[in-house]
Amino acid sequence: MFSTSKKIFFLFFVVFVFSSVALAQDFSSPSFTVTNPVMFPGGYSTSPSFSLSGVMSQIAIGTSTAASQNLFGGFLYFPYVTTPTVSTTPGDGQVSLTWTSADAGLGWAVSGYTVGRSTISGGPYTYTNVGNVLSNTVTSLTNNTTYYFVIRVIDGLGNFIATSTQVSSTPVASTPPPSGGGGGGGGGGGGSSDTGVTFSGRAYPLSRVSILKDGQLALSTIAGPDSKFKASVMGLDEADYSFSLYSEDINKIRSSLFTFPVFITSGVTTEISGIFIAPTIAVDKSEVKRGDTINIFGQSSPESEIMININSEPEYFVKKQSDGDGVYLLTFDSALLELGKHTAKSKASVSGEVSSFSSTAGFIVGTKNVAYGPENCPVKADLNADCRINLVDFSIAAFWYRRTLSDTFKIIEASKLNGDNKIDLVDFSIMAYHWTG
């Protein structure tokens, strides 16, 4: 006779050697729950309603569908897509539309766009699939009639995954340009006073929004308590321009740069709507002792949903809500992270609008806590004296690329760049070396 211990060993031997592996297709029911399984790659199953919890390893994005389901997998991934910013330029019986590329990830991919058109604010819209392009001219319109447009983003399966804010434009008949020179507009040039561009969107409550034209500050405005702003740069010549916008939060932290290239038509005001400046982000420690908490904070539009991405292995995604002043705070447990360097970034969504990701905030998970102190301003490459070398500085330098420098900028170039009274690839290399983001 076998002893009790030998019987137990024999029982485990039979179970592990002769039992079969349950594949996904073995679980099929109109309604079922699978609790704490150990699953290996297998087939697929479908169900009108199911709950799955406690699996080992991650669950592939885009492979599970159900009419109604609950999925509990620890730190979840959040598929995202940014909403396009749209510009409108009216013409004779037509409106030209240009929009920014939608950025998607974690399960979503952009395959194209449709243009929605209506004569009624809010729709219903008539949609036209224009393909994977970033501009379209809508023709056969009636002059002096206001039209409303939206841009929808399509994924690879033809699903609508994002919709821009509504923009409007009124086509008008062509008129000959007035004789003589026109007056200058706010931050503009020497063109006609009705030739320019109007910007509108969201920043942070009561924050200053700066608008750069070809790398030079053209205009500043203050956002309202609801974070919305609207400003115009007029008196421009007909030409291609590169406009950039940024804002600064209550802690004097600057946002990442929002850039929009546009062609300005003489005698026409181009509208760029739906701008959503990315949140600011910062951390309270440059190094955090593993196991202690680190605060990740910033500012965005009030009462917006903030998705914070902590770049690690694996990545962590956490959602927070900004308060009435747009401020958000995440207290994160560093015990979840490996020792070494990490970064965090954030994006915001509110009322169907989704911003791009912020710039990154870096920190180290180590053996001690080091408070994030004031930065030492870089000696070189900081062209706008904000103690950072980023796209703002590159935009300023790009404006002067292969152009004769002004007397004012000659002084900046001599102290901050190569000192040869010109902007070329050597200067861009200097900025790239000193890049802070």
Q: H helices within 282-406, ranges in order? A: 391-399
Average pLDDT (203-213) is: 94
- Residue among 354, 306, 309 nearest 110 (CA): 354
What CATH number is given to the structural domain containing 337?
A: 2.60.40.1930
Which residue shows structure tokens 């507009």?
185
Query: In the chain, how many domains are there?
Result: 4
State the residue range of the domain holding 404. Answer: 377-434
Shared-domain flag, residues 235 and 201: yes
Residues near 415 by Cβ (< 8 Å), separated by ≥ 6? none
Give the mean pLDDT of the chain: 81
Going by pLDDT thresholds of 50, 70 and 90, the confidence category of residue 28 is low
344 shares its domain with 405: no
Give per-residue pLDDT as tens, 299-358: 999 999 999 999 888 888 999 999 999 999 999 999 999 999 999 999 999 988 999 999
Phi first, then psi: give them for residue 60, nearest 5 degrees. -65, 135
Band of residue 35 on the pLDDT scale cut at 50, 70, 90: low
**Long-range CB contacts (< 8 A, 24+ apart) of 372-379?**
372/282, 372/283, 372/284, 372/285, 372/286, 373/286, 378/434, 378/436
Residues 402 and 429 in one domain: yes
Q: What is the pLDDT of residue 68?
A: 54
Query: The CATH number of the domain where 385 resides is what?
Result: 1.10.1330
* Residue 284 and residue 350 in one domain: yes
165 and 87, same domain (yes or no): yes
CB-side exposure of 179: number of CA atoms within 13 Å?
A: 0
416 with 428, same domain? yes
Contact 255, 358 (CB under 8 A): yes
pLDDT of residue 305: 95
pLDDT of residue 410: 84
319 and 289 co-located in one domain = yes
CATH number at residue 96: 2.60.40.10
Whether residue 337 sits in one domain with residue 259: no
Q: What percent of the chain has pLDDT over 90?
A: 47
Residue 193 has pLDDT above 70, yes or no: yes
Same domain, 92 and 156: yes
What whole-number distance in Å separates Cα of residue 41 and Cα of residue 270? 54
